Amino acid sequence: MGKKVGIVNSGGDCAGLNAVIASIVRAGVRMGYEFVGFEKGWEGLLSPIKMRPLGIPEVAGISYLGGTILGTVNRGRFGAKQGAGDPRRIPREILQEAKENVEKCGLDGLIVIGGDGTLSGAMQLADVGVNLVGVPKTIDNDLSVTDRTFGFSTSCQIVVDALDRIHTTASSHGRVIFVETMGRHAGWIALRSGLAGGANAILLPEFAFDMRELLEFLRERQQRAGSSVVVVAEGVRIRDRSAARQRRDQEVMLGGAANMVMAALDEIAEPDEFEMRGVVLGHTQRGGTPNSADRMLSKAYGVAAIEAYDRGDFGKMVYYKNLTMMTCPIMEAVGTLKRVTEGDLEYHTARKLGVFVH
């Protein structure tokens, strides 16, 4: 007789989420499992419970869809991370309620899909005795143990497509256009897409940069090429300044990084020296159809997750390393973020090609 497993996805949506869900169900049903999905992330597991059956008919045709059929939230009673990953303990009574609801629903355990915050919550739930396996989900590609997370490739392609268009209008008008991407604490989207999309400058959260150095770079560019395109990660820092701001509910809010850089540049440049514009790509990077690379990766993650669950690898996360799916304790996955360093291939390549990357 098959076991019954719940699926939870929480945090921000990204391309490939539905493909992971569908693959867990499709592979799991063949192995004798039944599934339910909890709606709106962890909130659906807490009272009042919001869940729905997930069988082959329910997941048919969803793998190419963006977003998640279960819905999601990135805050609530189960919030377990804030800022750059500082741990926040979930109240014992919330963890106990979640555990009791798992039992009340007749579930053997959970498969949890999420980033460092979601998986930190999953780790605490595992500590009180819930069987679960984690699947990494972050378009920022910043979980330390895995080579690549699903949604990242699609997000980068969306930025590259935008840059292809922005280059033509920047050169036509002789403008400096600042393109703001996602990237709270790690600048992988900005770096990978900026390099692929021919950005002239790439500003990352990992390195505080000097505004006067950027000014001189852009002056030289204007004299030589007449225009520039600058990619700005949303968590960028000018020396010790940051575009991030903290909300009362622990969620870090970002946005306005491109405007912040333009305003700082305008303070030290000559009057009307540059004609500047800002483009915030925002949630376009999250939405829409996953590309072929993310569909394949998502399906591999889904199959690996139910296989790990079937082996009893509880309290662990599946991850992608050297073209292979592996497992590790969730603690190892959420302990540190994977950030850009000067030794990374993309960073080295950009510098050698004359890109202002800081």
**Pairing of β 316-321 and β 324-329:** antiparallel
224-240 core/surface letters (b: 16 or more CB in 10 A; e: else) = eeebbbbbbbbbbbbee
Cα-flanking dihedrals φ and ψ of residue 92, to 5°?
Answer: -55, -40
Query: What residues have CB less than 8 Å from 63, skipping those under 6 apart?
Result: 18, 19, 22, 23, 295, 298, 299
The answer to whether 140 is a known catalytic residue is: yes
Which pair of tokens denotes residue 157?
A: 């392609």
Residue whose structure tokens are 């990374």: 344
- Please tell me which residue in 13, 116, 140, 142 is annotated as part of the active site: 140
Structure tokens at 4: 């019954």
3-state secondary structure of 125: helix
CA distance 185 to 3: 39
How far lies 292's CA from each of 31, 143, 190, in Å? Answer: 26, 22, 21
Task: Report how far residue 212's alpha carbon sits from residue 343's, in angstroms, rounded to the nearest whole number.
Answer: 25
Give the C-alpha separation, 272 to 175, whole Å.
11
For residues 16 and 286, give the distance between their C-alpha atoms in angstroms, rounded to a whole number: 10
Q: What stretch of H or E contains 59?
A: helix 56-59
- DSSP letter for 328, please: E
In the Cβ-directed half-sphere of 175, how many Cα atoms lie within 13 Å? 16
Question: Contact at 8 Å (CB) between 9 and 70?
Answer: yes
Catalytic residues: 140
